[in-house]
Structure 1
Amino acid sequence: MTLRDAGWQRAYVGLGANLGDAHAALAAACCALQALAQTSWVGCSGVYRSAPIDSSGPDYLNAVAAIDTRLEPLVLLDALLDIEARHGRERPYRNAPRTLDLDLLCIADLRLDGPRLTLPHPRGHLRAFVLLPLAELAPGLLWPGQGPVETLLAQVVDQPIERLDRGLVLPRNAARSG
């Protein structure tokens, strides 16, 4: 029996922050993802530093988390927006610096184009800060409609990104919810 047969689907969530204690915000976001109902924690990539794209402000810390979930896409999106809000996320203008940014990158091979959510994320395959942590977390992953993540990485080599030695420290007892 596959995950999908049991109603579970693998979802990837991009994590980013460039205001306040960004490292702590990413770790707290991972804990919040672990606590989601109908969701099972799979893991998280290392932490990367990258410059803002189409914006200004401090560098971002980024990571990608994987979860298995039974939540419908819009329910999962609302849960991510709630986590952002609980961490002080404000949206004063497009691409403003943020205390926490959670992007639903993809859910299995689902394709969706709606007013609130597009899957896979429409620019994820164009961003090194998505692709590099994703390739670390899920080697061989195919970005829906675009191909292997490792191949897509070759198209973003001009985007500066640095893997940090310091990974996220997560509590051991926050590993599973369901």
Structure 2
Amino acid sequence: MTNHVNSLVYLGLGANLNAPLEQLRNATQALAAHPSITLVASSSLYGSKPMGPQDQPDYVNSVVAIDTALSPLELLDITQQIELDFGRVRKADRWGPRTLDIDIILFKNQQLDNERLTVPHYGMKVREFVLYPMHEIAPDLALPCGTDLADLIKTIDKNGLSIIAAS
């Protein structure tokens, strides 16, 4: 592990295959069990409509806040391994169904854009299934661009998003 100062990181979790409620709960436990990750907060579990093709099951989504000394790419390696452990198969179909998706949404106030990772997450500002759960656990959060999360969610329709279970 590279020696870094600890960072507060927000991860978006989503699944719509193989008992998605349990997938997200178990993935959150897997993250919390990693020796380099401390779970700080976990949102409720939200039901959401799929992005892209609508001929797939609805999603279950959540956002977790973690504390870690890992670098962004080290964390990406860990989250991708957890996805694989939970049966994730990466396909060319970007918006298709999946057993587990873990996205790094925010990594402290860092901004990163390379071939493997873009932080803040490129789609976060328009995804109700990221913004509302993140607001639940971090209502006073300001994004690296200076936008307050509380102001941003006022502009985003819930699009059928609803809390379906506690984390």
Shorter-normalised TM-score: what interval? over 0.9
> 1:130 and 1:96, CA in 2 relative to 1: closer, same or farther beyond 3 A?
same
- Residue 35 of structure 1 and its aligned partner are, at CA, apart by 1.6
Q: Which amino acid aligns with 1:144?
A: P
Corresponding position of 2:64: 65
Corresponding position of 1:32: 30
Corresponding position of 1:87: 86
- Residue 158 of structure 1 and its aligned partner are, at CA, apart by 5.5
Distance across 1 between alignment mates of 2:143 and 2:123: 11
Distance across 2 between alignment mates of 1:155 and 1:55: 24
Q: Which amino acid aligns with 2:62?
A: A
Gaps of 5+ in 2: none
Corresponding position of 1:13: 11
- 8 A contact 2:142–2:148 mirrored in 1: yes
Q: Map of 1:22-171 to 2, 5 A cutoff?
A: 22-56=20-54, 57-92=56-91, 93-145=93-145, 147-157=147-157, 159-164=159-164, 166-168=165-167
Secondary structure of 1:160's aligned partner: coil
Gaps of 5+ in 1: 1-5, 169-178
Q: What is the root-mean-square deviation of aligned Cα atoms in Å?
A: 1.3
- Residue 146 of structure 1 and its aligned partner are, at CA, apart by 5.4
User: How high is the TM-score relative to the length of structure 2?
Assistant: 0.92
Distance across 1 between alignment mates of 2:19 and 2:103: 19
Q: Which amino acid aligns with 1:113?
A: D
Distance across 2 between alignment mates of 1:29 and 1:158: 24
Once structures 1 and 2 are overlaid, which stretch shifts more, 78-87 or 141-150?
141-150
Distance across 2 between alignment mates of 1:25 and 1:36: 17
- Residue 34 of structure 1 and its aligned partner are, at CA, apart by 0.5
How many matched pairs? 162
- Residue 91 of structure 1 and its aligned partner are, at CA, apart by 2.1
User: How high is the TM-score relative to the length of structure 1?
Assistant: 0.87
Corresponding position of 1:175: none
- 8 A contact 2:52–2:96 mirrored in 1: no
Secondary structure of 1:143's aligned partner: coil
* Runs of 4+ with >3 A deviation: none
- Residue 24 of structure 1 and its aligned partner are, at CA, apart by 0.5
Distance across 2 between alignment mates of 1:25 and 1:91: 17
Identity over aligned pairs, percent: 38
